[in-house]
Structure formats: C-alpha cells, structure tokens
C-alpha cells in the first residue's frame, strides 16, 4: 500500500474513481506520473545517503542515538491540515461521515442531497473497500462524486482525500460530504481535514455502542441517530444511548432522524445551512 500519495495502481492499494470510469485511465496516468517522480527522488536520496555512509563508515562503527519524539500520525495530520486550509480558503464546509456499515450514511446523504441541492452546491467523496455502488447512487442525483476504494484499507486517510479533492474541482461556498468506510473503529484516528465529524448510529444497533466504540464518539461533533421510524419495533432506549454518548463526549450534538420517512431531517438541514457559512 502506498501511504504517501493515496494512489493505488497495485492490487491492494486505494483507487480513486469517478462513476463511469472503468479503469481510471486518466487518474492512473496522472498518479503514475506523480508516483514515479516520488520514487525517483526517493531512490536518489537513498543512493546519496549510501555513498555518504560508506564514506563515514571508515571513521566510526558506533551506534548513534537519535531523539526523535515524533508523532506517528504526523504525516496524516500535516496533509489533513493542508486539506483544511484549502477548505477554509474556499469556504467549503467539509463533513466526515462515519458509522458502522449499514447504519444509513448513504441514505442520509441521498435525502440531504435530493432536498437541498437546489440551494447548496454539494460534492461527495465516497469511501468503501470495493465497488462504485455508493458513488453511482450519488451520481444518479447529478451530484459530482468521487469514489475511493481503499482495497484492504479499513479507513480513509488525508492523502486519499487530498487526491480525490484535486479531481473534484470544488467551487467556493460548497458543502463537501466525505462518506468514510463503514467502520466504527479505524477511521476515528485519521483526521481528513474536515470541518465537522458526524457519527451516525441507527436504532437497530445497541444503545451501548458509544461506550463499546468510544474513540469514534469522542472525536465526533455531531451524532445522528437514524432509523427512528423503526423505534416501535426495536428494543432500544434512545435516552440511554444519548447518555452513553454524552459520557464519552459531553459536547456531542444530536439529531434524531429517519432518512427513509424524512422525519427529523429538517433539523439536520437547518443545521447544515446555519453552519456552512461561518460568521
């Protein structure tokens, strides 16, 4: 897996595709070019260093101790900061949507886009391990969308978003929805440069999920509780769920919705409109 540029022409690496693109011909070339440049300079660096080394080798055989003190996620955080700066400069409101698989991220997206697309320019980045299925659902609404297939990867990283954003040509004052890979664990550690992180949980999941997977709730700003139309049929205490979530993150703001019936969605739409242009 190439952790540097987010491109993945290799078997297991991430690929970035637009709906209708069979084998991302365009992006492949583009990426390949970039990749070549990268590995070239890398090699050069290495050879250089090797020469240097054999030279100094004659002088000493000693171990050297390097005090590094470097954050392991630093690379991801630097590129996330770069994304964030780009979003802020263009007044793009970027949301990182995270949840377990099947809690309704794509359905919430579809309803939101269908209802607000006349008023707000939307762009979408879809993250999944495989398939263009989600991107095709968004594409059917005539919204510009890019699919990132992470292959074996279980989460999006800021370099993948960086590459995807470059291909989206987002206009100013827009909303960018980044639908992360369905996974309540891994994406929590990876800042993508989003303005807000939105965790979605559905009423068919257990009310104790926030304390079972605390990291995701701890790092989120908004919690959408989806599928409230199913409340009469499922055994869940929504207040208990909220209390657990607040125990993990007392600053969480909740929306209770049903993407299917539209119940509660107006409050979510209002929040989007109120927050997309920070004063």
Partner 1 sequence: MHELSIALGIVKIAENETAKANAKKVTKIELEIGVLAGVELESLNFIWESAIKDSVLEFAKKDITIIKGLGKCIDCDTEFDMEFIYDTCPNCKSNFKGILKGKELRVKVLEVI
The binding site for partner 1 (CB under 8 A) comprises: 1, 3, 45-46, 49, 52-53, 56, 61-76, 153-155, 157, 185-190, 210-211, 214-215, 218, 244, 246-248, 250
Residue 252 gets which letter from DSSP? -
Closest separation in Å from C-beta 96 to partner 1: 15
Closest separation in Å from C-beta 120 to partner 1: 32
Residue 170 gets which letter from DSSP? P
Strand order in the sheet with 196-202: 15-17, 145-149, 122-128, 175-179, 93-99, 196-202, 222-226, 253-256
Cβ pair 265, 234 in contact under 8 A:
no
Tell me whether residue 113 or residue 156 sits nearer to partner 1 (CB atom). 156
Closest separation in Å from C-beta 256 to partner 1: 20
Tell me whether residue 26 or residue 152 sits nearer to partner 1 (CB atom). 152
Closest separation in Å from C-beta 155 to partner 1: 6
CB atoms within 10 A of CB 99: 28
Paired sense of beta strands 145-149 and 15-17, if any:
antiparallel
User: Which residues make beta-bridge pairs with 17?
Assistant: 147
Tell me whether residue 62 or residue 277 sits nearer to partner 1 (CB atom). 62
Closest separation in Å from C-beta 123 to partner 1: 25
Question: What does 118-135 look like in DSSP terms, one character per residue?
Answer: TTS-EEEEEEESS-SHHH
Q: Is 143 helix (H, G, I), strand (E, B) or coil?
A: coil
Tell me whether residue 141 or residue 211 sits nearer to partner 1 (CB atom). 211
Q: Is 233 helix (H, G, I), strand (E, B) or coil?
A: coil
Tell me whether residue 168 or residue 211 sits nearer to partner 1 (CB atom). 211
Question: How many residues would you count in the chain?
Answer: 279
Closest separation in Å from C-beta 158 to partner 1: 11
Tell me whether residue 123 or residue 244 sits nearer to partner 1 (CB atom). 244
């Amino acid at each position: 897996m190439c952790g540097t540029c987010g491109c993945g022409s290799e078997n297991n690496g991430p690929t970035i595709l637009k709906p209708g693109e069979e084998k991302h011909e365009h992006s492949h070339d583009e990426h390949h070019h970039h990749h070549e440049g990268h590995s070239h300079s890398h090699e050069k660096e290495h050879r250089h260093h090797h020469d240097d080394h054999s030279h100094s080798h004659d002088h000493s055989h000693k171990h050297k101790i390097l005090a590094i003190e470097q954050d392991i996620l630093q690379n991801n955080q630097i590129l996330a900061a770069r994304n964030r700066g780009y979003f802020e400069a263009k007044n793009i409101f970027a949301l990182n949507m995270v949840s377990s698989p099947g809690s309704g991220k794509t359905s919430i997206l579809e309803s939101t886009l269908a209802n607000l697309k006349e008023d707000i320019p939307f762009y979408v980045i879809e993250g999944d391990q495989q398939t263009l299925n989600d991107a095709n659902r968004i594409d059917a609404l005539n919204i510009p969308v890019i699919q990132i297939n992470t292959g074996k990867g279980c989460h999006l990283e800021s370099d993948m978003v960086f590459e995807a954003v470059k291909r989206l040509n987002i206009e100013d004052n827009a909303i960018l929805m980044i639908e992360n890979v369905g996974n309540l664990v891994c994406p929590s550690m990876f800042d993508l440069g989003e303005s807000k992180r939105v965790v979605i949980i559905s009423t068919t999941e257990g009310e104790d999920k926030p304390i079972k997977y605390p990291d995701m709730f701890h790092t989120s700003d908004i919690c959408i509780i989806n599928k409230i139309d199913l409340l009469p049929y499922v055994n869940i205490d929504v207040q208990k769920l909220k209390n657990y979530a607040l125990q993990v993150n007392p600053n969480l703001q909740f929306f209770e919705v049903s993407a299917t019936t539209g119940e509660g969605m107006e409050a979510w739409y209002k929040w989007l409109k109120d927050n997309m242009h920070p004063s």
